[in-house]
Amino acid sequence: MKRILLITMIACITAMSSIAQAKSYRGFVEGGYGAFVGSKTGSVLSLSTSQGKMFGPVFVGGGIGIEQVWVKNESYIEGYISESDWDGWIGRKTFKGINVPVFANIKGIWEDKKISPTFDVKAGFNLGMVWGLMGEAGAGCRFDLGKTALAATAFIKGAYEEESLVSDDPKYVEGWFTSIGLKVALEF
């Protein structure tokens, strides 16, 4: 009889802990578009997912995404001209490529109203066309739809390309790629 009671208690505790874990689990699928600002011209189209747990109003997790990037490299030299102290830039070349950002994610989610503010911070590493560190910060609104929610977030993202963009040739741009844009996230 004691064994049956012990097994029943263990089963109940396991079931309760799995229900508690299921309630704190959150997942997000985000789609977004951003335009480069600063010294680079171009745009980025992205799709990503974040998975993690809720700790009160704060989500902590990790994620991965895929981005299609278009960069107009204005410093590309096509027929470079040098006359005494004057250097001229001729030509412009557009590069297209794929990025795969891998990141840690923290979100502030207030769930007590139909429409509530949110914030989102991501930090990680970009693999692909722009290979290096990345960070993203955003703020927006969350719309409660019952069992799920939709969030619209304005963001600013920076990715640091340590090496040259596509070549070891110093004619190509390198440095920070900064974009601003809008993301829409489906929460489940």
The per-residue pLDDT for range 46-86, each reduced to its tens digit, is 999 999 999 989 999 999 999 998 877 655 444 444 444 44
* Residues 65-92: b if buried by 16+ CB within 10 A, e if exposed: bebebebebebbbeeeeeeeeeeeeeee
pTM: 0.73
Coil, helix or strand for 169?
A: coil
Start-end of H helices in the chain: 2-24
Average pLDDT over residues 87-114: 77
Q: What is the mean pLDDT of residues 152-163?
A: 82
